[in-house]
Structure 1
């Protein structure tokens, strides 16, 4: 058993790039190490710490804390620490200075502890894949279980490329703000630019967000409420529950109701704060709500900030200012100044549209451009150089667009949306009409005011006219899929019972009492061609799910809130829907449900058009509507209800006109640049089609005894067959289905979508590299004309880990392959990877190791030559990395400085952060070191 003791030196098997770590603390079943080279601290569980003790051997050169070197003659252990003796002095392990591990895998070779050439090839391939994965321009974008929607990818790319982004995402309903936010988070987390994230949402959306980030992006966030916090008060670091996890979701109401938890959240430190439904944070010049003040405080301590709201500026300048000041309180400090600012973008927008369409510019347009840009730019345009024209459009959008802090895409500028077709079905009971009206009145009252009804809700679905209509309709539109949403799980269960009794019908259910796994299975059955024809959902079916493969929606009852109705319809009405959506609303004539349907249809046209400003509508008309519905008892011509519908319609008409008149074309153009998005999609599709990941993971799973059952559509069922597979935490013992096909993954949400971003892929890479698989190997190359020895060494050029500094885009961990023969000559190009992988066979290394000259002289000389060659390559790679970094960052910094002169939305700290990052990256790249990762001895015969 390993005895952990302060000042011992270790390396991390999973993160060798951290360098040599110093054990600083060991208690309560945990050990803490500090890695000086990377300036990082790590905490490990005592029982399964992935650490390897660093022990230097005679012949190695080490340094003390004064940077004085010592060539080791012998090594002894005293009081759990190694002491290294040289010619005339000694250095204790506790007094070691800046040291690195440049040996280890060669020790395995000299001891004869070797793997097969196939294992070495797997390690070599793993290192190359990891290098290419980190370098990929779409790293962090390929792994989402999402359709590739251009505007979503453009926004995610633009925002995630910034330094500590602080933006407002305000796309219209159905355009995917949540997906955009998740894409941004995923890319920043995968690249290591952020690690601590707090998502703050209304209580009703906590579960929806949890499901969305997990199901679509494999990001495991922890839901925090008072119960969880209380359970962590004693065990969490510094007694702060918010320090116990890196990724957290909690409700705005939870923090608003607890000053203690708010204070803890404020002191926890966040790389990114995400706030959904930001328009619900009430603020005015004279007063701010508790929720708004909490978000304001959190936004000051968080480096990055994403605010999500579908409510446009036209619904209130004061509300819009309130959100902008959360993003940048210095830029938006005074409301009156904000109102008085003159920022007429229409002229610039008109010029951009003319340039884009190839129309002639008038004298006024040209004069404006001459005042903004050098004459050379304009000469290029007159010669119809498309590249110059595109660059000018980009510069105009950059310098004069408000999109630095605000992104808004609208349905008016997007294509791909279906039409909604409303079918309002008025039903008349054949008998007992008054009884049925009373029953439905009670049903309505129970659902809108459950606190007023203490008895369990009763249903009479055996003879309910709505159920009779439903059974007929299902037969008429068979085999079309039907999504039915209603208020409660009790209603779902009663409906399922009635349908099964009256028809031989494949019916699936989806409600809150089912586990997430069971919901997944039921949803999957519904998605199958021969699966369930109808899925019965409680209100939870309106949250976090995409059923756009179905085109019929039955609203068995109606919610009071317009936003909730839009959520229900939004399960089908989404960008990418391929057919028109048929929305069926059955009701008894002159019932409360009838009048509610009439208000939605005639007052808001909510069934056939998406609703703008649903919260504002509910605020203005909701209480009055509920009061009238409660009072309504079969009076079809109630004048008060007619007046309400008329007023609602007038308000909606005025609102839509206001929105149309107030459209900011410049903002919309800046929120979506098709050429950038098109390039991203092309790169992602290329990775989707490339089968190298599928081939690579097949090798890894076979090596580690993971059974792979082949299924259609590049889909497999994985199941562990031995205890070694416990090293794959993402593969459960009962097995899991996976696919490499994005389209298949979108239609089958219970199947994991594997990509280079997926945790199962990163698990596979980590397992291969941290387990030592293939790090030392011996092989035989037969039928060669010149017998002898070859030594193939894979070095890795590593940069020290820098917190939140994205070095991978310039110099990721780079494998350097060197092959030398026994004469000390480099022969890398002569012996290709393909040649060795094809012709190498296993052999016995022991006879070779019995040769003292070979072990003590020849092999060390070959290693020395290979290391010198790798060091030369290190110098070249560092120089290239610095050139790439300085070229890119200089362009970005110069661009920000130019933009700042014309666009007040450029924060000074953006430029300062960029300059600091340039300095940090320069240091990281210059200090990149070569580490020997794998070695293979080859005997030619």
Structure 2
């Protein structure tokens, strides 16, 4: 056999020496690495169907969840924003995608960052439903020792955790409640952007809340440069949120990295919503107190509005505020008189109606939402007087106590009484009755509440009871904001877009301003009526736009 002659290529030496002599920011090798990394994010391995489905026969996946997982692994190379509406199973979709990559040997090291209150819930879901050996991070755990780790983003971003995590090459990163990363100047955003990751999922029901640049920031975590650079995007789209519908090219780019399923598009009709307004009449004593409170001249109109809302909830909530005012320096005599008078009021008319509703549905699990902790404590005591078992649930509880309260509710108590902060992220598919004891002034918060029980896994129709006291500020909100434009049923899906178009950051703050700046109840009603008319007009316009440009 003839010897093979090898010719050494030394042409690169001159080029290397030339590069070393120059003070370029990037060497050719650096540029090659950057180009290679960019190319690998665009190249998807060949997939044909989901193998994971054969390993999870016990899970009844919905068609839109399977389609979503297939689209992410086959077309998006595992980098996507899952933006389904609340309750459609984003967690299920994410778990299926992670399982698929693990089965194919493409993911070994994964980091799942979620709100602190949801860490245990994610751990249980991934282990019990997907047989994924995920572990919730504990103080004595080393980040590099656990393959599938779940943590709160607040823990992960702090030293010394941050430095350890940034040293690890992760195959898979998942961020729940990713809308909290909408601002690229925050530490959370910088931390997530710095993570080394092959695949990445961002979960949020509201990918755009105020400005279109928020979607740019989320997409830049997944695929830097996919929507161009920040300055040019801001100049072209930053001030007009509707551009995402009107600009066909931008819409196409976003659809390459985002999947959004709605209730209408998925046709989930198994569990229907039954929404009923429960009108409450104050007793003569309660109405007299409300009117006296309304007639008092306060230094700040916001103070009066707060007290009026509190007395519509419970005497306890209002009493605590009045007592603080009465105990303060230079307190007006009127506060002392009101605090004394409120002690003489009978049990709240709303509380009596709650007991009546629960007794009409024996054996049914019921969740009650209130805005005030004082009302929460009062209701728990009042229900006990009628032998109705209940447990509290609020934002101040630590992770373990929240899990314990949820378990007590599921296995023992008939009622769970939750404050707004406490209800965030809790899934209660085993409960199908909800009482909105205090109606939120932002319908998006109401939708979040309902999503706790009307979600994937709910097998029964859900019954929603919204309480409102006649002749009070609650009546104005109910009739003008909710019933006039049928906000319970039709507008909720477009509301965030509508508010952004009107330069309204928070609807609740806008309503407070209307009441605060009005000289009379009549003036406030007129302004509210105008606001709801504009919302209705914008909603009709949005529906027409969707028919023209698609969802």
TM-score interval, normalised by the smaller of the two chains = 0.5 to 0.7
Distance 2:323 2:62 in 1: 46
Q: CA deviation at 1:511?
A: 2.4
Q: CA deviation at 1:248?
A: 3.5
Describe how 1:34-49 pairs up with structure 2 within 5 A: none
Alignment pair present for 1:567 and 2:448:
yes
Q: Hey, which of these two has a bigger chunk of strand by percent?
A: 1
Distance 2:177 2:481 in 1: 23
Query: CA 1:518–1:312 in 2, change beyond 3 Å: closer, same or farther?
Result: closer
Q: Which residue of 1 aligns with 2:53?
A: 138
Alignment pair present for 1:413 and 2:265:
yes
Q: CA deviation at 1:139?
A: 4.1
Superimposed CA distance per residue, residues 266-297 of structure 1 (whole angstroms, 9 cap, x where no aligned partner): 222222112233334335xxx74443333322
Q: Which residue of 2 aligns with 1:499?
A: 383
Q: Which residue of 2 aligns with 1:181?
A: 94
Q: Which residue of 1 aligns with 2:436?
A: 555
Superimposed CA distance per residue, residues 55-114 of structure 1 (whole angstroms, 9 cap, x where no aligned partner): xxxxxxxxxxxxxxxxxxxxxxxxxxxxxxxxxxxxxxxxxxxxxxxxxxxxxxxxxxxx
Distance 1:482 1:197 in 2: 37
Describe how 1:508-587 pairs up with structure 2 within 5 A: 508-509=390-391, 511=393, 514=401, 516-517=403-404, 519-525=406-412, 532=414, 534-539=415-420, 540-541=422-423, 543-547=425-429, 550=432, 552-574=433-455, 581-587=462-468
3-state secondary structure, aligned to 1:608: coil
Query: CA 1:484–1:468 in 2, change beyond 3 Å: closer, same or farther?
Result: same
TM-score normalized with structure 2 length: 0.65
2:277 pairs with one of 423, 429, 437: 423
Aligned positions, number: 449
3-state secondary structure, aligned to 2:53: coil
Q: CA deviation at 1:331?
A: 3.3
Superimposed CA distance per residue, residues 309-354 of structure 1 (whole angstroms, 9 cap, x where no aligned partner): 333679754333332222211433336489699999999xxxxxxx
Describe how 1:224-239 pairs up with structure 2 within 5 A: 232=140
- Note if contact 1:209-1:544 (Cα within 8 Å) is conserved in structure 2: no
Alignment pair present for 1:321 and 2:216:
yes
Describe how 1:646-661 pairs up with structure 2 within 5 A: 646-651=530-535, 653-655=537-539, 657-658=541-542, 661=545
Describe how 1:192-207 pairs up with structure 2 within 5 A: 192-202=105-115
Query: CA 1:433–1:658 in 2, change beyond 3 Å: closer, same or farther?
Result: closer
Distance 1:555 1:245 in 2: 42
Structure 1's unaligned 5+ residue stretches are 1-134, 348-399, 527-531, 669-941
Distance 1:459 1:520 in 2: 36
Describe how 1:639-650 pairs up with structure 2 within 5 A: 639-640=523-524, 642-644=526-528, 646-650=530-534
Q: Which structure has the bigger radius of gyration?
A: 1
2:144 pairs with one of 213, 231, 243: 243
Query: CA 1:206–1:481 in 2, change beyond 3 Å: closer, same or farther?
Result: closer
Q: CA deviation at 1:495?
A: 1.9
Query: CA 1:210–1:476 in 2, change beyond 3 Å: closer, same or farther?
Result: same
1:302 pairs with one of 197, 200, 220: 197
Q: Which residue of 1 aligns with 2:167?
A: 267
- Note if contact 2:393-2:416 (Cα within 8 Å) is conserved in structure 1: no
Distance 1:497 1:333 in 2: 58
Query: CA 1:333–1:622 in 2, change beyond 3 Å: closer, same or farther?
Result: same
Q: CA deviation at 1:177?
A: 1.9
Distance 2:323 2:164 in 1: 40
- Note if contact 2:434-2:465 (Cα within 8 Å) is conserved in structure 1: yes
2:226 pairs with one of 331, 354, 373: 331
Q: CA deviation at 1:578?
A: 6.1
1:612 pairs with one of 464, 472, 493: 493
Q: CA deviation at 1:306?
A: 0.6
- Note if contact 1:562-1:611 (Cα within 8 Å) is conserved in structure 2: yes
3-state secondary structure, aligned to 2:173: strand
2:176 pairs with one of 265, 276, 282: 276
Q: CA deviation at 1:576?
A: 6.7
Distance 1:614 1:222 in 2: 38
Q: CA deviation at 1:166?
A: 0.5
Q: CA deviation at 1:469?
A: 1.8
Q: Which moved more, 1:404-413 or 1:516-525?
A: 516-525
Superimposed CA distance per residue, residues 228-287 of structure 1 (whole angstroms, 9 cap, x where no aligned partner): 6xx55xxx7xxxx5324333344445566x47644433222222112233334335xxx7
Superimposed CA distance per residue, residues 833-857 of structure 1 (whole angstroms, 9 cap, x where no aligned partner): xxxxxxxxxxxxxxxxxxxxxxxxx
Q: Hey, which of these two has a bigger chunk of helix by percent?
A: 2
Query: CA 1:603–1:323 in 2, change beyond 3 Å: closer, same or farther?
Result: farther
Q: CA deviation at 1:150?
A: 1.1
3-state secondary structure, aligned to 2:108: coil
Distance 2:244 2:370 in 1: 48
1:601 pairs with one of 482, 502, 515: 482
- Note if contact 2:275-2:466 (Cα within 8 Å) is conserved in structure 1: no
Query: CA 1:244–1:653 in 2, change beyond 3 Å: closer, same or farther?
Result: farther
Distance 1:253 1:614 in 2: 30
Superimposed CA distance per residue, residues 770-821 of structure 1 (whole angstroms, 9 cap, x where no aligned partner): xxxxxxxxxxxxxxxxxxxxxxxxxxxxxxxxxxxxxxxxxxxxxxxxxxxx
Query: CA 1:208–1:427 in 2, change beyond 3 Å: closer, same or farther?
Result: farther
3-state secondary structure, aligned to 1:193: coil
- Note if contact 2:143-2:164 (Cα within 8 Å) is conserved in structure 1: yes
- Note if contact 1:555-1:585 (Cα within 8 Å) is conserved in structure 2: yes
3-state secondary structure, aligned to 2:143: helix
Q: CA deviation at 1:180?
A: 1.3
Distance 2:548 2:258 in 1: 11
Distance 1:244 1:535 in 2: 38
Query: CA 1:289–1:535 in 2, change beyond 3 Å: closer, same or farther?
Result: closer
- Note if contact 1:201-1:277 (Cα within 8 Å) is conserved in structure 2: yes
Q: CA deviation at 1:188?
A: 3.2
Query: CA 1:425–1:580 in 2, change beyond 3 Å: closer, same or farther?
Result: farther
Distance 2:450 2:131 in 1: 26
3-state secondary structure, aligned to 2:68: helix
Q: CA deviation at 1:414?
A: 2.3
Structure 2's unaligned 5+ residue stretches are 1-49, 238-242, 294-306, 326-338
- Note if contact 1:548-1:571 (Cα within 8 Å) is conserved in structure 2: no
